[in-house]
């Protein structure tokens, strides 16, 4: 610091001889402008570097990463080796059907680094990754046909190399503390320490879906922006923020608008504004519409729906609740007694134009279809009555919890609402009909019994 001061004094004196070294003006000048800037930058950098090292040392000494148990029945969650280079598929069971198109089949899923999902234990308790966490890996099957009609099939896979992926890969050890489930003190610590060390709470997993828009391919997880990938090499390119116009997370299941080819998306946030909707131009270059939905809570809404004219979104009883986490509860809250709504808005409408339909609280993560039928907006989805994301109590015994919740259902005769607690997580086909003229919402379950469907219909609200 002293050396910098002297060097600066010499230079400054030469430039400004009329100003006395002892004058108040000069001291003010020094402290308020030129002297302060480079020194402040250097000091801040040094402090930041030292702080990060100190926090790293604290984490290494206090938190122990341990492997989550992987039972034989959970082998689907075990990571596989990364290839990065396409290989020829030499063994195919069965035959590729006649008329099957040439092209690329893509899928994506979590493929955790460092051998599998982790938990940590410390004086603050335990925290764990939940089952949807794990770095995204894209799998590609390239199907090409020769002149004689013989197929050539190649396979490749590659991790989605997001910023946080590269960061952990460089450190060569698990670094982000799990912040999804576990004891509240441990989760709060994970939040704070991840923020201090990496500037964000969670990793950019990009592991949930692969979409195409305007000829480009993107991987997505709903906690961050889409990541463009090269279809031939599967290498990650830039993140897609629609030329700087979209700064929110991006739903994993955006929808192509019928007719225009625009992409309808939305993003949720644990703080206000809780949910915003965006319409992106067909060429992917412009955000043509953006609206704050003015919700009073952060809904854990996984999908958005579109029809010819409308956007449909869900204000669920399943919510993200930071305050509850700090008070010792789960970050994810399912309020069976609370309200749940479906909102229908014209493609380019605003929050005041939304027509709301109250429906029975549910945990529908994925939908089958949505369309207009006369005055009705029809929505079909896979409805469950309990969250597929275990709370803190179930989180420690989640393998047992999932095995119980997803066991085969012996009978679904009668009302879906009469199911036992252990049957509530299992999603079933369901239909909602939202009448735009009368404001009525109808719903019906479509249980599957011994190869036959039967319907029951109940009126929800007048």
> Could you tell me which residues are annotated as the binding site for Fe cation?
253, 302, 366
Please answer whether residues 251 and 302 qualify as being in contact, where contact means their C-beta atoms are separated by less than 8 angstroms: yes
Closest C-alpha among 119, 172, 162 to residue 137 = 162
Angle at alpha carbon of residue 250, lines to 246 and 76, rounded to 5°: 155
Other CB atoms within 10 A of residue 45 CB: 10
What are 361's two structure tokens? Answer: 């609280």
| Element of type H or E holding 210 | strand 209-213
For residue 190, what is the enclosing H or E element?
helix 184-198
Residues 6+ apart with CB under 8 A from 217: 106, 210, 211, 228, 229, 230, 231
Cα distance between residue 423 and residue 412, in whole Å: 10
Distance CA 461, CA 358 (A): 7
Give the residue from 148, 70, 76, 85 showing the smallest Cα distance to 109: 76
Q: CA-CA distance, 3 to 157, in Å (whole number)?
A: 54
* Torsion from C-alpha of 170, 174, 180, 182, nearest 10 degrees: -160
Angle at 79 between CA 78 and CA 81, to 5 degrees: 140
For residue 48, CA distances in Å to 56, 190, 196 come to 12, 19, 10
- Residue 352: is it exposed, middle or buried by C-beta count within 10 angstroms (0-12/13-18/19+)? exposed
**Spatial distance between the Cα atoms of 164 and 325, rounded to a whole number of angstroms:** 24
Tell me the C-alpha distance between 305 and 405, whole Å: 27
Find, among 330, 58, 284, the residue nearest to 179 by Cα: 330
Residue with tokens 């039967």: 454
Distances in Å between the Cα of 17 and the Cα atoms of 10, 11, 13, 14, 26 are: 11, 10, 5, 6, 11
The C-alpha R_g of the chain, in whole angstroms, comes to 27
DSSP code for 322: H
Give the residue among 215, 218, 313 at the shortest CA–CA distance from 265. Answer: 313
């Amino acid at each position: 610091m002293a050396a910098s001061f002297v060097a600066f004094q010499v230079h400054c004196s030469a430039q400004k001889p009329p100003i006395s070294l002892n004058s108040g003006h000069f001291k003010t000048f020094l402290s308020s402008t030129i002297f302060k800037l480079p020194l402040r930058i250097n000091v801040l950098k040094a402090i930041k570097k030292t702080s990060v090292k100190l926090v790293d040392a604290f984490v290494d000494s206090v938190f122990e990463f341990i492997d989550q148990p992987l039972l034989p029945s959970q082998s689907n969650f075990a990571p596989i080796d990364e290839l990065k280079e396409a290989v020829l598929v030499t063994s195919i069971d069965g035959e590729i059907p006649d008329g099957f198109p040439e092209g690329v089949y893509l899928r994506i899923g979590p493929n955790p680094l460092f051998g599998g999902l982790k938990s940590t234990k410390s004086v603050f308790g335990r925290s764990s990754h939940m089952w949807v966490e794990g770095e995204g890996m894209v799998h590609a099957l390239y199907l090409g046909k020769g002149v004689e009609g013989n197929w050539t099939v190649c396979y490749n896979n590659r991790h989605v190399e997001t910023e946080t992926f590269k960061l952990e890969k460089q450190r060569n050890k698990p670094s982000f503390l799990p912040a999804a489930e576990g004891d509240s003190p441990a989760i709060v610590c994970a939040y704070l320490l991840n923020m201090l060390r990496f500037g964000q709470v969670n990793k950019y997993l990009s592991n949930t879906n692969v979409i195409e828009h305007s000829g480009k391919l993107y991987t997505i997880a709903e906690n961050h922006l889409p990541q463009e990938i090269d279809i031939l090499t599967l290498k990650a390119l830039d993140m897609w923020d629609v030329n700087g116009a979209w700064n929110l997370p991006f739903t994993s299941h955006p929808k192509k608008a019928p007719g225009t080819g625009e992409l309808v998306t939305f993003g949720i946030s644990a703080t206000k504004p809780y949910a915003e909707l965006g319409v992106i131009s067909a060429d992917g270059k412009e955000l043509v519409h953006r609206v704050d939905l003015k919700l009073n809570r952060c809904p854990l809404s996984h999908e958005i729906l579109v029809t010819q004219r409308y956007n449909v979104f869900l204000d669920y009883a399943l919510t993200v609740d930071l305050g509850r986490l700090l008070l010792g509860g789960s970050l994810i809250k399912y309020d069976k007694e609370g309200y749940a709504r479906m909102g229908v808005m014209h493609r380019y409408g605003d929050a005041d134009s939304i027509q709301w339909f109250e429906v029975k609280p549910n945990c529908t993560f994925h939908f089958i279809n949505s369309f207009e039928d006369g005055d009705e907006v029809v929505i079909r989805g896979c409805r469950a009555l309990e969250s597929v994301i275990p709370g803190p109590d179930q989180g420690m015994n989640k393998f047992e919890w999932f095995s119980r919740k997803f066991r085969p259902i012996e009978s679904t005769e009668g009302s879906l609402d009469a199911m036992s607690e252990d049957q509530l997580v299992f999603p079933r086909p369901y239909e909602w009909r939202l009448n735009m003229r009368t404001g009525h919402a109808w719903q019906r379950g479509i249980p599957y019994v011994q190869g036959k469907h039967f319907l029951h219909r109940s009126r929800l609200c007048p």
